[in-house]
Structure 1
Amino acid sequence: MQGLHLTADLHHCSCASAWLLDAPLLGVACRDAVQAAGLQAVGELFHAFPATAHGPGGVTATILLAESHLCVHTWPEQRAVTLDVYVCNFGADHSAKAQALLDGLVALFMPGHTEQHSVQRGSLR
């Protein structure tokens, strides 16, 4: 149960629009980032939402990790993204891998402004 939960809210992303709109393309980037960070994917789901009156539909990309999960949500009409990386540290400390995964995805989206948070979960008593 012990682990590290990282979140990032990315604003004013200057990346190519495809990263915000194309579910299969974003899926490949997420898989690559997971592998580069040294984490193990065990499942995945990439979903594109339809356009609305507010603009083009965004994407949700989720990768289940042996260590826990990665979730990415895009809002192309706002050029915004939220990232959620959680790793369990029960058998080994995966904190550096979680940070590497988050950092790699932040770089992909090229935000003008980022809000990041880190929470240690499941402390021992």
Structure 2
Amino acid sequence: MQGLHLTADLHGCRCAPVWLLDAAALGQACVAAVHAAGLQPVGQLFHQFPASQHGPGGVTATVLLAESHLCVHTWPERAAVTLDVYVCNFGADHSDKARGLMDALLALFQPAAVHRNALMRGNAEAGS
């Protein structure tokens, strides 16, 4: 179960509005980024939230990976996004691929400010 879990909170995203508002477009971009990073998508779910009194509805894009998952949540009324990339390193170390995927998504959203976290999960020794 050892792996790398990356998260990022993006603020002041200067990307094209489509990436914050359109579930299908964001989903396609996520799957393309997963492939480009060398990871294997095995499932996906993209959901468009309805507009509310606070503004247009955001999007959640989830890509299930053979290595674990990618999840993106957008808040267009705040020009904000949260990113979550987790890769299990069972059988091979996918950490560099996870970092590449995160970097590609940061480039897509063009945030003015980013708060990033990296957590090494699990223990390499069995039974720990």
Taking structure 1 as the reference length, the TM-score comes to 0.99
Aligned residue type for 2:30: C
Structure 2 partner of 1:57: 57
Shift of 1:85: 0.1
Structure 2 partner of 1:73: 73
Q: Say whether 1:120 aligns with 2:117.
A: no
Q: Give structure 1 stretches of 5+ with no counterpart.
A: none
Q: Say whether 1:94 aligns with 2:94.
A: yes
CA distance in structure 2 between the partners assigned to 1:120 and 1:60 by the alignment = 25
Secondary structure in 2 aligned to 1:91? coil
Residues 43-92 of structure 1 show CA distances to partners (whole Å, capped at 9, x for unaligned) of 00000000000000000000000000000000000000000000000110
Secondary structure in 2 aligned to 1:33? helix
Q: Give structure 2 stretches of 5+ with no counterpart.
A: none
Structure 2 partner of 1:34: 34
Q: Say whether 1:18 aligns with 2:18.
A: yes
Taking structure 2 as the reference length, the TM-score comes to 0.96
CA distance in structure 2 between the partners assigned to 1:83 and 1:44 by the alignment = 15
